[in-house]
Amino acid sequence: MPLTLNALLADSAHDVAQGRTAWRQMSEFARFHWLATAEDVSPELVGEFYFLRAGAADVMGMTDEAIAALGELNTWADSRGDDALTLVGKAHLAFHALNQDEPSVYPLGEPEDRLRALLEDFHAWRPTPDSPTVGEEPTIRGESIDRPDAVKLATAATTAYSVAVNVSEQLAEVFAGLVRRFGTAYPTEADRLLWYAQRHWFSGRKQQAYALASEVLSSSDTTSVSRFDAHDMLGHFALLEGDEAGVAEHWARCVELARIMDAPVIAMRHAELTARVYFSQDRAGEAWQLSHDMVTWVDGVPVGPILLDLQEVIAQSAFENNLFEEAWDTARSVIHWSEMTPNDQRTASCYAIATFAGLRLGLAEEVFDLQHRRAELLKASGRLLDAAEVFQTLAYLDEDAATAYLRRSWELIEASQEEGKEWHVAEWLLTMAQFAEGGAAVDFARRATSAFERLGHPVKEAFALLAEARAQLAMGETDLARQAYAQANVAMPAEFARPAELDAVFTQVKEELGG
């Protein structure tokens, strides 16, 4: 039975004051209280409400909501004269500035600028209106001020330090000093090891960083929270090194630990990325199970980027596991929400999954309607090249009307002023080579070959040459077909890592040529 909102916030505030995480409360807030507002809570708990909301939004990938909540937190703290809490909010905004890499409703600027402004605010903080400031009086320390203020200052300094190690060694040293100055609890051995592991990594001492973080896991006294932090850190190290197996190994453990701690929401991104690694390793069954389990565990959370990403993996792995109806339904559900986000890659992926799943289910008419709707939406939003690509897909789905769709596709390409137009012209020529007949097909294929050669794309160049080989064969020009086939082998030799689809076409054309 979930706690009432006020009880949950009081529980969270108590744990934070004792130096514990509020991950369980954050998870419960996301699942059961997301639609609540500050007006729904007791006045003294409004700050905790905003803090918990910001944390929950962050782990769900809802960055703008997290930033908005932190802004509200700072406004509320200022209205109460709680400058220590304002420092916590500003430190977290610096963290978001570090990770803000796409257009946002709340642009935050450079993280280093925010850290320097935060440091000024730190030095201007005073425990009472009549006392000297932190910058003026070095004897102001965690043990000399009220514990709630000390906890807030230590929290703000720790968050700022985690940002500073990424941007400025000098600032990292300053904030590390503030952590030591205002920390009131002696750090655990795990805290100490992870602290130095982080410093080693960003100083380029990667082996030492791995060793210290791994040492945390070897101790039987390590808490679940510290184990989670260690696996999270080691997974990030693996991600930065391009070690997908390492990412999956450590972040799968994060998922397990979050589940044990009754805080599954904090590991949603870990589950999604681990499932993607499983999928890339031809472990579609495990990818489906993990993503499915996580979506079940976090039932009740709002629709957000990470939830949509998890559902995309479910659709993708369901298709690979021949669960075509689930893939069809899930992909279309994701499309409905994803079209309202800037994540075009996820939206396109789910359109592709829905298309293939729908065709497997014999839903050709529904698939056609889905793609036609997409083309019109893209066109209406000014994305003419993307719309042109969809009209080419429609040509494959309705061959009787293929000529009309391909003509419409070309009109959109011609009208577009977008970047990447040359690529779309080449793709259109290749598509035309497969629909045209006789000399026209050969002409389109040769023009596509030249276009892809100029673009420096040997895979597509080989596809175009194989299209010419087939067109020549259809006209009985076997020698010219063999010549085009040989040129395709030069463009993309067999000893290269050919994509499976291209390799299959090479095999088919070779057989058509009589081996």
Q: What is the pTM of this model?
A: 0.86
**pLDDT per residue as tens digits for the range 312-357:** 999 999 999 999 999 999 999 999 999 999 898 999 999 999 999 9
In a domain, 360, yes or no: no
Q: Which of 80, 1, 28, 163 is nearest to 10 (CA)?
A: 28
In a domain, 462, yes or no: yes
In a domain, 437, yes or no: yes
| 464 vs 451: CA distance, rounded Å | 10
pLDDT at 100: 87
pLDDT at 423: 97
In a domain, 513, yes or no: yes
Q: What percent of the chain has pLDDT over 70?
A: 100
**pLDDT per residue as tens digits for the range 39-70:** 999 999 999 999 999 999 999 999 999 999 99
Structure tokens at 6: 């006020």
pLDDT at 400: 86
In a domain, 474, yes or no: yes
In a domain, 145, yes or no: no
Expressed as residue numbers, the domain containing 474 is: 419-515
pLDDT at 389: 93
Confidence class for position 276, pLDDT limits 50, 70, 90 = very high
pLDDT over threshold 80, residue 173: yes
| 60 vs 129: CA distance, rounded Å | 39
Task: Name the domain count of the chain.
Answer: 1
In a domain, 511, yes or no: yes
pLDDT at 342: 87
pLDDT at 117: 98
pLDDT over threshold 90, residue 452: yes
In a domain, 84, yes or no: no
Query: Helix or strand or coil: residue 58?
Result: helix
Across all residues in the chain, what is the average pLDDT?
95
Instruction: Identify which has the larger pLDDT, 498 or 11.
Output: 11
DSSP string across 100-158: --S--SS----HHHHHHHHHHHHHH--SSTTSPPTTT-TT--GGGS-HHHHHHHHHHHH
Average pLDDT score over residue span 161-168 = 94
